[in-house]
């Protein structure tokens, strides 16, 4: 299956600092790639480059074959984005938030389809008409995913989606992410959480100093082995 998300020698430099150094990766439809790494490893920069929020110094980020820097709006039309904390308008209801963000993508919300997506995401049905200011973090993450699914995004980028969630909510969200990927959506997830990454990812990339230093098949390693490998990479960094 062809890659819907691709980085070709993707490089980003902020002044003297090299935030991303020649990243090459590809994510196919239905695949989940988790990027693991410490703060400053280049995970968020990678997401920003795919979102077209910043321009690459060299190389290219491609979404569904489109070079993001050449037409960020067209690339974003194919992308969904779930931030670490999904930012919603607190005085608007979940339904209004969903309708607004989907509307920006040119999607008119059909309530039946919306309710089906929300049910798939196990979002409490009665909460959608409540102000978003009353939502828990897990609910916000799910609504963020719902926005991406409403626009039928082929790729969803998630920035630390599991951080700060209680174990039950994190389990719940992992299940939802698996089902989303199973539906043919490519997921690129930036995370610190090795164990959750192993649960959800098809592949795990370890990033350090803006470089992809390892690409791992999580099924081939136990959780302990994965942790050991990750810590080894981090220790090399410290050294």
Partner 1 sequence: MSPAAIAASVAAKDWAEYRRDWRLALISLLVALLAVTAVVAAFVEVTAHDADRRATIAADRVTWEGQGARNPHSAAHFAFWAFRPLPPMALLDPGVLPYAGSAIWLEAHNRNPAQARPAEDLAGGLDLGRFSAAWVFQYVLPLLLFIIGAGLVAREREAGTLRLMLASGLAAGQVMPAKYLALGRIAAVLVLPLLAAALVATLLAGPVDGVALLLWLSAYLLYFAILAALAVAVSALCATAAQARLLLVGLWLVLLLIVPRLGSGLAMQAAPVPTPHDFAAGVQAQMKSGHDPFGKDGKAFEAAVMARYGVTRLEDLPVNIDGLRLEAAEQHGNRVFDAAWGRLAATHEAGRAALRLAALLSPLVPLQNLSMALAGSDAAVQRDFQDRAEAHRRRIISLLNADMTAHAGAAGFDYHADAALWRRAPDFAWQPPGTAAALARSWPDALALGLWLLAALGLLRLAGRRLAAGQQ
44 φ, ψ to 5°? -70, -35
Contact in structure between 159 and 47 (CB atoms under 8 Å):
yes
State the nearest-atom distance from the C-beta of 29 to partner 1, in Å: 19
Nearest distance from residue 83's CB to partner 1, in Å?
6
Q: Which is nearer to partner 1, 32 or 44 (CB)?
A: 44
Q: Can you tell me whether residue 177 is helix, strand or coil?
A: helix
Give one DSSP letter per residue of 20-63, joined into a string. EEEEEEEEETT-EEEEE--TTSSHHHHHHHHHTSS--SEEEEEE
54 binds partner 1, rule: CB under 8 A? yes
103 binds partner 1 (CB under 8 A): yes
Q: What is each CA distance from 111 to 105, 108, 126, 196, in whole angstroms? A: 17, 9, 13, 32
Total chain residues near partner 1 (CB under 8 A): 30
CB-nearer residue toward partner 1: 148 or 194? 148
> Any contact of residue 234 with partner 1 (CB under 8 A)?
no
Alpha carbons 41 and 31: distance in angstroms, whole number = 22
The residue among 83 and 213 lying less far from partner 1, judged by its C-beta, is 83
From CA 212, how far away is CA 233, in angstroms rounded? Answer: 11
Window 56-95: contact mask with partner 1 (x via CB under 8 A): ----------------xx--xx-xxx-x-xxxxx-xx---
Interface residues with partner 1 (CB under 8 A) are 51, 53-55, 72-73, 76-77, 79-81, 83, 85-89, 91-92, 96, 100-106, 144, 147, 151
């Amino acid at each position: 299956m062809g890659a819907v998300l691709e980085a070709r020698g993707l490089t980003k430099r902020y002044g003297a600092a090299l935030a991303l150094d020649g990243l090459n990766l590809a994510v196919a439809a239905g695949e989940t790639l988790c990027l693991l790494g410490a703060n400053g490893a280049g995970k968020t920069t990678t997401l920003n480059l795919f979102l077209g929020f910043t321009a690459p110094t060299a190389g290219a980020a491609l979404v569904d074959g489109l070079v993001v820097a050449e037409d960020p709006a067209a690339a974003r039309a194919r992308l969904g984005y779930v931030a670490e904390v999904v930012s919603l308008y607190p005085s608007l209801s979940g339904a209004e938030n969903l309708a607004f963000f989907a509307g920006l993508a040119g999607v008119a919300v059909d309530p039946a389809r919306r309710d089906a997506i929300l049910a798939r995401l196990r979002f409490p049905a009665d909460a959608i008409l409540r102000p978003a200011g009353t939502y828990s973090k897990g609910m916000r993450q799910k609504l963020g995913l719902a926005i991406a699914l409403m626009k039928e995004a082929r790729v969803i980028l998630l920035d630390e989606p599991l951080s700060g969630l209680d174990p039950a909510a994190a389990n719940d969200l992992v299940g939802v992410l698996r089902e989303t990927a199973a539906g043919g959506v490519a997921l690129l997830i930036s995370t610190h959480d090795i164990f959750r990454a192993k649960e959800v990812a098809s592949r795990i990339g370890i990033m350090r100093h803006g470089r992809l230093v390892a690409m791992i098949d999580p099924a081939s390693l136990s959780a302990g082995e994965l942790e050991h490998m990750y810590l080894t990479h981090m220790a090399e960094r410290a050294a």
